[in-house]
Structure 1
Amino acid sequence: MKYRRFGRTELEIPVFSCGGMRYQYSWKDVPPGEIPEENQRNLEAVIRRSLDVGINHIETARGYGTSEIQLGRILPQFPRDELIVQTKVVPTANPREFRKTFHHSLDNLKLDYVDLLGIHGLNTPQLLEETLRPGGCLQAAQRLQQEGKVRYIGFSTHGATELIERAIASDQFDYVNLHWYYINQGNWSAIEAARRHDMGVFIISPSNKGGLLYQPSPRLLELCQPLSPLVFNNLFCLSHPQVHTLSLGAARPEEFEEHLKTLPLLERADEILPPILERLETAAIARLGEEWYSSWFKGLPEYDQTPGEVNIPVILWLRNLAIAYDMIEYGKMRYNLLGNGGHWFPGKPAKNVNRRSLLQVLHDSPHAHIIPDLLQEADHLLGGRDVQRLSQQ
């Protein structure tokens, strides 16, 4: 395994982290006796394989259902100083609730402390304000730190880049969990800001939210040769030293194996990546057209500035991926979450859009005249059954 300095925490963190979103029994809390032994054995096999290959950063959250309580059956069996354990707690208006929830997490994990505590889901200005205000959740986390229950404090976010940069600029956090990978590089300026503040950078779900790379489209498989799309994306992310660790979210112990193929390639990333990147760009231009490819994102309103809160940038992005790389299943998964994702994936789908009202908010876009039709096309291509966030299922 390879390790990187996790910003000012000074932790040597593995470039892959064992994320806790896919191996637990339930996304809801259930009595421990209802957790099947088969599921628990699989989870423990994942953790043992993770540690065997040098991935000692185990990441979970109070919002991940039975993940914490199941980890509590296995983590205390290992030397505590050889583990880096992270959990995350959502911010609340009442910091006492935050503190109570954290202690619930610690009890579940059967640990005396966690190395990393993330304020989970700083996705809106209100949540950021509630966290940073005097007497807010950040101060509650800092008190836990003073009591020896927490070593370092960070935040996770699905929010807008500008909001992430505001949180980073507060200089109150040691690390950040955020989205950034080949198909979605919009948060790069936030990563650069984190580097300037010497913060650790953890990439959320690069294999799942990064394109359903455990089940890639045949076209993506072809374009990423000689690498698998999963290894390509890992190598792309880790070729940037500002990125410290990628969450793998392994559901079974064997899922680590493909990721591990990335490690011997890291020193040759500058040689391996350029032809694949060129091939991906050329393929996208061939299907989307060069003018659209280079300017589709310009002048688009945010969802809260659009009639019906239609999330135009996200919908056009998903349409691009579906057309350029045949990423239909990924597009459907994300598109049908619109309207159901809350502040984790905000905005609405393009159902029954009114052309005239849309044109009024597209005045800064060079493609205003075609975007209403493209939104309708995206809805026909990707729309269907509503999708819920995993934690709602």
Structure 2
Amino acid sequence: MKYRRFGRTELQMPVFSCGGMRYQHKWQDIPLTEVPDENQRNLEATIRRSLEVGINHIETARFYGSSEVQLGQILPKLNRQDFIFQTKVAPVANPKEFRKTFELSLSRLNLEYVDLLGIHGLNNEELADYTLRDGGCWEVANQLRSEGKVRFIGFSTHGTTDTIVRAIETDKFDYVNLHWYYINQTNWAAIAAATRHDLGVFIISPTNKGGLLNQPSAKLVELCQPLSPIVFNNLFCLSHPQIHTLSVGAAKPSDFDEQLKTLPLLDRAAELLPPIIDRLEQAAASKLGTEWVRTWKQGLPAPADTPGNINIHTILWLRNLAIAYDMIEYGQMRYNLLENGGHWFPGAKATNIDALDFSTCLAASPHAAKIPDLLKETDSLLGGMEVKRLSQS
């Protein structure tokens, strides 16, 4: 395993982390007695495999269903110095509730402390206010640190880059969990801010949210040769020293195998990545047009500034991926999460938009005239199914 300094925490973080979203039995809180023995054995085998290959950072969250109570059965069997542990707790208006939730988390995990406490879902200004105002959730987290129950404080986010940067620039946090990978490089300015403030940088779900890379389209497989899409994306991320660890949402012990193929290639990133990136860029330009690829993002409004709350940026982005790389299944998953994802995935789909007037909100876009038709085209291509966040399933 390779390790990187995790910012100001000074922790030596493995370049892969064992995420806790996919090996638990249910997304709802249930008594341990309702967890099948087979599922618990699988979870314990996954954790032991993670540690065996040097992935000693294990992370979960209070609302990852039965994950915490199941982890609480194996963590006390391990040497506490052998692993770095993170849990995450959502910010709320009442900071006393934040503390109560954390205490429940700690008790379910059967731990005396966590190395990393993430304020989970700092996704918009309201949640940032819950976190950062005087007496807010960050101050509770800091008090927990003074009590020895938390070593370092960070935050996870699906928010806009501006929201993330503002939180980083408060200089209150030790690390950040955010999205950034080949198909979505929007948050680079936030990573740059984290680097300036010496924060650890953890990339959320680069395999799943980074393109359903464990079940990629045939075209993406072809374009990423001689690497698999998973290994290409990992190598792309880790070729940037500002990034310290990538989350592997393992559901079973063998889910680490393809990820680990990245490690012997890290020193060859400068050789392996450019031809693949060139093929990916040429494929996009060929299908979408060079001018569109270069300028499609310009002048797009936020959903809150758009009639019908339509998430124009996300819809056009998913259209690009579907057309350029045949990423239809990924596009359907993400597109149909709109209207069901709350502040984790804001905005609406482009259904029934004929009565909406986009002329004002698209005034700064060079493609204003054709975007409404592209939105309708995307709805036809990707719509027609209901998708919920995993925690709602």
SS in 1 for 2:73: coil
Contact 1:116 1:153 in 2 (8 A): yes
Distance in 2, matches of 1:108 and 1:31, equals 11
1:209 Cα deviation from its structure 2 partner = 0.3
Distance in 2, matches of 1:66 and 1:174, equals 27
Distance in 1, matches of 2:253 and 2:153, equals 29
Partner of 1:170: 170
Partner of 1:76: 76
Partner of 1:322: 322
Q: Once the two structures are superposed, what CA deviation does each residue of 1:260-304 show, in whole Å capped at 9, x if it has no partner?
A: 000000011011100000000001111001111111110111100
Which stretch shifts more, 303-312 or 360-369? Answer: 360-369
1:76 Cα deviation from its structure 2 partner = 1.2
Partner of 1:221: 221
Distance in 2, matches of 1:381 and 1:166, equals 36
Partner of 1:335: 335
Q: Compute the TM-score of the two structures, normalised by the length of structure 2.
A: 0.99
1:356 Cα deviation from its structure 2 partner = 5.5
Distance in 1, matches of 2:381 and 2:354, equals 18
Contact 1:355 1:372 in 2 (8 A): no
1:355 Cα deviation from its structure 2 partner = 6.2
Distance in 1, matches of 2:279 and 2:359, equals 34
Q: Letter of the aligned partner of 1:222 in structure 2?
A: E
Q: Which runs of 5+ in 2 are unaligned?
A: none
Distance in 1, matches of 2:94 and 2:343, equals 19
Distance in 1, matches of 2:355 and 2:285, equals 27
Distance in 1, matches of 2:259 and 2:391, equals 25
Partner of 1:276: 276
Distance in 1, matches of 2:57 and 2:223, equals 32
Partner of 1:190: 190
1:354 Cα deviation from its structure 2 partner = 3.0
1:360 Cα deviation from its structure 2 partner = 2.4
In angstroms, what is the RMSD of aligned CA positions? 0.7
Partner of 2:3: 3
Which runs of structure 2 are paired with 1:44-193 in the superposition (5 Å)?
44-193=44-193
Q: Once the two structures are superposed, what CA deviation does each residue of 1:288-329 show, in whole Å capped at 9, x if it has no partner?
A: 011111111101111000000000000000000000000000
Contact 2:30 2:66 in 1 (8 A): yes
Distance in 1, matches of 2:258 and 2:83, equals 23
1:65 Cα deviation from its structure 2 partner = 0.5
Partner of 2:390: 390
Contact 1:50 1:256 in 2 (8 A): yes
Distance in 2, matches of 1:155 and 1:354, equals 40
Distance in 1, matches of 2:68 and 2:244, equals 24
1:107 Cα deviation from its structure 2 partner = 0.5
Q: Letter of the aligned partner of 1:284 in structure 2?
A: A
1:46 Cα deviation from its structure 2 partner = 0.5
1:130 Cα deviation from its structure 2 partner = 1.4
1:361 Cα deviation from its structure 2 partner = 1.3
Q: Letter of the aligned partner of 2:255 in structure 1?
A: E
Determine whether 1:251 maps to 2:276.
no
Partner of 1:375: 375
Partner of 1:37: 37
Distance in 1, matches of 2:108 and 2:304, equals 38
SS in 2 for 1:360: coil
Distance in 2, matches of 1:78 and 1:286, equals 53
SS in 2 for 1:285: helix
1:173 Cα deviation from its structure 2 partner = 0.3
SS in 1 for 2:201: strand
Paired-residue identity, %: 69
Contact 2:335 2:382 in 1 (8 A): yes
Contact 1:179 1:187 in 2 (8 A): yes
Q: Compute the TM-score of the two structures, normalised by the length of structure 1.
A: 0.99
1:134 Cα deviation from its structure 2 partner = 1.0
Distance in 1, matches of 2:130 and 2:219, equals 45
- Aligned residue pairs total 393
Q: Which runs of 5+ in 1 are unaligned?
A: none
Distance in 2, matches of 1:216 and 1:288, equals 20
Distance in 1, matches of 2:215 and 2:278, equals 23
Q: Letter of the aligned partner of 1:381 in structure 2?
A: L
SS in 2 for 1:320: helix
SS in 1 for 2:117: strand
Distance in 1, matches of 2:220 and 2:5, equals 32
Partner of 2:292: 292
Q: Letter of the aligned partner of 2:222 in structure 1?
A: E
Contact 2:308 2:356 in 1 (8 A): no
Contact 2:306 2:358 in 1 (8 A): yes
Distance in 2, matches of 1:143 and 1:376, equals 50
Contact 2:307 2:356 in 1 (8 A): no
Q: Once the two structures are superposed, what CA deviation does each residue of 1:4-54 show, in whole Å capped at 9, x if it has no partner?
A: 000000000000000001110011101111111111111111001000000
Distance in 1, matches of 2:318 and 2:359, equals 20
Q: Letter of the aligned partner of 1:390 in structure 2?
A: L
Distance in 1, matches of 2:87 and 2:332, equals 30
Q: Letter of the aligned partner of 1:111 in structure 2?
A: L
